[in-house]
Structure 1
Amino acid sequence: MALINPHINFNGNAEEAFHFYKSVFGGEFAQITRFKEMSSPEFPVSEKEANKIMHISLPIGKNFLFANDVPESMGRVNENENRSKISISTESKEEADKLFNGLSSGGQIEMPIEDSPWGSYFGMFRDKYGIEWMIDFDQK
């Protein structure tokens, strides 16, 4: 079966955000590649961009959360745009609470985690990096 692996663009703070995500989900980074590692005459990298993240991945269960910093030459990412949300289905109410409380710390809660009208335990928020998340536990 195919897996869905979200990929997030950041404006230079991908590494900071991913250390935060790692503190919530646990695990170790599968890969961190900086722009300077890809520098060549065909792809010159400025000193200002050299240590920014070209690719980072964090395994979460059988899936990965991916990200990169967008080079300034490509313009800024609108961190408050209406993006698609990252939806996490948990295996327990306790796991849902742990992820909701951890990831929403410092962010904006749009819908507190609680029993929903459609029968699942659900919450929604934008984390402190502007990424939108939905956490859901359905006993069915």
Structure 2
Amino acid sequence: MKTVNIYLNFEGTTEAAFNFYKSVFGGEFMGGIMRYKDFPPSEDMPPLSEAEKNLVGHVSLPLGKQILMGTDIVESLCNGHKTVMGNNVLLTLETDSIEETETLFGKLSEGGQPLMPPAETFWAEKFGSCTDKFGVHWQLNYTGSKAPEQM
């Protein structure tokens, strides 16, 4: 496996969430924000309301070598699938420094809920976890000198 990419489902808040993540991590959306109205016509696609057509069908934001992707779930397109926000997604970021861990934790937890403020653990020089203001759970980990020795 070369990379692990993360896909997040929202109920109408994808654009706000991804603009927030862009402000935290920087970068640009790959190909912009694609809305359902931008999808090519398909006989398999049920008719959508005007509101559903303006929802985010797909967005991608590079995070280093990985890509954070997301969509607004439309039940009629997903066989009645309903999004359950919160503990269904847990994202772990291995940071480059203690300072980066603390900075990202501060930005991600703003308006959300700090679960474990950044602190030293037995596995990391600095580890913290929080839930952001969109209900997504994040773990920030700087292993540093506590990285297991390579065999």
How high is the TM-score relative to the length of structure 1?
0.91
Number of paired residues? 139
Q: Give the superposition deviation at 1:78.
A: 1.6
Structure 1: gaps of 5 or more residues: none
| Cα deviation, residue 117, structure 1 | 3.6
Computing the radius of gyration over CA atoms, which structure comes out larger, 1 or 2?
2
Q: Distance in 1 between matches of 2:3 and 2:41?
A: 33
**Moved segments of 4+, more than 2 Å:** 72-76, 117-120
- What letter corresponds to residue 125 of structure 2 in structure 1? S
Letter in 2 for 1:35: Y
Cα RMSD after superposing both structures? 1.6
Helix, strand or coil at the partner of 1:49: helix
Residue pair 1:33, 1:54 contacting (<8 A) in 2 also = yes
Q: Contact 2:124–2:142 at 8 Å: present in 1 too?
A: no
> What does residue 63 of structure 1 align with?
66
Of residues 54, 72, 83 in structure 2, which corresponds to 1:77?
83
Alignment gaps of 5+ in structure 2 = 146-151
Aligned position for 2:56: 53
Q: 1:6-38: CA deviations, max 9, x gaps?
A: 100000100000000000000111132100011
Report the Cα offset of residue 119 of structure 1. 4.0
Find the aligned partners of 1:123 and 1:92 in 2 and give their Cα distance: 13
Asked if 1:28 corresponds to 2:34, the answer is no
Percent pairwise identity: 42
1:19 aligned residue? 19
